[in-house]
Amino acid sequence: MVLTFLEKFKKKPRGKLYQLPEGWRVYAVGDIHGRADLLEKLHQMIVRDSEAEPVKNNLAIYLGDYLDRGPLVKETLDLLISGLPSGFKAEYLRGNHEEFFFRFLEDPVILELWAVLGGRSTLMSYGVRVPGSGLSAERARQVRQELLEAMPKKHLEFLMNLKPFYQLGEYFFVHAGIRPRIPLENQKPEDFFWIRDDFLGSTDDHGIKIVHGHTISEQVQNYSNRIGVDTGAYATGILSCAVLENSGIRFLSTKHDSGSTKL
Enumerate domains of the chain plus CATH numbers: 24-105+158-262 (3.60.21.10)
pLDDT at 5 over 80: no
Q: What is the mean pLDDT of residues 146-164?
A: 98
Q: What is the mean pLDDT of residues 177-197?
A: 97
pLDDT tens profile 250-261: 999 998 765 666
pLDDT of residue 162: 98
pLDDT of residue 12: 40
Answer for the pair 172, 154: CB distance below 8 angstroms, yes or no: no
Which of 66-70, 85-89, 142-146 bottoms out in mean pLDDT, i.e. has the lowest?
Answer: 85-89
pLDDT of residue 259: 62
Mean pLDDT of the chain: 92
pLDDT of residue 4: 29
How far is CA 70 from each of CA 57, 77, 237, rounded to the nearest angstrom? 31, 12, 10
Q: What is the mean pLDDT of residues 1-21?
A: 51
Percent of the chain at pLDDT exceeding 70 = 91
Percent of the chain at pLDDT exceeding 90 = 86
pLDDT of residue 130: 82
Answer for the pair 63, 95: CB distance below 8 angstroms, yes or no: yes
pLDDT at 13 over 70: no
DSSP string, 204-258: ---SSEEEE-SS--SS-EE-SSEEE----HHHHS--EEEEEETTEEEEEETTEEE
